[in-house]
Amino acid sequence: MNPFETRLLGNTGIKIPSLGFGGAPLGELFEKVEHLQAIETLDEAYASGIRYYDTAPWYGHGLSEHRLGNLLHQKNRHEFILSTKVGRVYRPFKGDPVLFDGSPWVGGLPFEWNFDYSAAGFERSFLDSTMRLGLNRIDLLVIHDLDRSYHGKSVSNKLQELETGMEWLKMMKNSAAIQAFGAGINDIEMIPLFLEHFELDFFLVAMPYTLLNQEPLKDIFPECERRGIGIIIGSPYASGILASGSRKESKYGYVAASEEIRKKVQSIEVICEDHGIPLKAAALQFPLAHPQVSSVIPGALRAAQVNENLEMLKIHIPLEFWLELKQTGLLHPEAPVA
């Protein structure tokens, strides 16, 4: 696969590269990242040709946006696509920064937040992001973390709050302040709710469509195709285990992987080894075989990981490999493959 090939994002008319850069790890999710290391990682990404970057205020409570902006505000604005997110509004932590608990981020910046999906909240979030990034334009704006894992039974209240937020997003798109807007999804059950209530340009799907989960194939992706809604895949390594493999400390869904998931990955690893295919290559290439998917955006903590992601996309994977995964029940029988 060509990592720099561009694909249309649904019916938006926007073309984005097959491989992007996910900014969550630079917000220090699982480990601290020194400033120089972050600069080297991002410099390598841009020098290697990556031209789609995704971030969010949530990633390190502003740290990821600062770091990405430090790179991107120096570049030609017409050369790259940028997405960030709305749904949280930040304010400075009033106490000693040493006492700030930024969990789940192990590092990040000492800023507190609250969810706000209203028009006023979105505007505040957007303006704050432009200042952290040092950029006056954001291409793709994503509604962030409106799902049950964060909001529980109050999801319906948040969807009501989003009604004014959606009007603001439409106004921003109509004025060309942004090119498109979508929703970031971790909980697959939220996609039908969004489809029922709102018109979106795309979904940024993290977790529900990977080598380990093809649940959207039955109803959700066909409905998105019917409506011309594009798909971007975040966390193609399933938050870690499809990169690190089945070892005990591997993460799945941003927490320690269960024994069931580890065993499934072990079974995939056996077939990978038989065919001489790196697990990371299979994980990265699989989502891109679906015609609705425009891009995958793995994160990177180091310059070497940027280059490895590029190489994983270039590896040729024979059809026989995918067929064996299907024949052994490790992959949905109707999943598109290269």
- The domain in which residue 82 lies consists of 6-327
Assigned domain for 334 exists: no
Q: Rounded to whole angstroms, how far apart are CA atoms 253 and 258? A: 10
Annotated catalytic residue 147: no
Domain count, the chain: 1
The reply to whether 338 falls in a domain is no
CATH code, 272? 3.20.20.100
Tally DSSP H helices, then E strands, for the chain: 12, 14
Average pLDDT, the chain: 96
Distance between CA atoms of 60 and 19, rounded to whole angstroms?
Answer: 23
Q: Read off the pLDDT band of 247 (50, 70, 90).
A: confident
165 inside domain: yes
Q: Please report the sign of the dihedral spanned by the C-alpha atoms of residue 269, residue 275, residue 281, residue 284.
A: negative
Catalytic residue among 54, 116, 139, 147: 54
In sequence order, the 6+-apart residues with CB closer than 8 A to the CB of 329 are none
Residue 335 within any structural domain of the chain: no
Q: Is the CB of residue 316 less than 8 Å from the CB of residue 25?
A: no
At 338, the pLDDT band (50, 70, 90 cuts) reads confident
pLDDT higher than 90, residue 180: yes
Which of 52, 85, 90, 237 is the catalytic position? Answer: 85
Q: DSSP state, 258?
A: P
Give the pLDDT confidence of 102-134 residue by residue, as tens digits: 999 999 999 999 999 999 999 999 999 999 999
d(CA 58, CA 248): 27
Question: Is residue 209 flagged as an active site residue?
Answer: no
Q: pLDDT category, 160, cuts 50, 70, 90?
A: very high
The catalytically annotated residue of 46, 52, 53, 59 is: 59
91 part of a folded domain: yes
Assess whether pLDDT exceeds 90 at residue 170.
yes
Q: How confident is the model at residue 226 (pLDDT cuts 50, 70, 90)?
A: very high
Q: Is the pLDDT of residue 255 over 90?
A: no
pTM here is 0.96
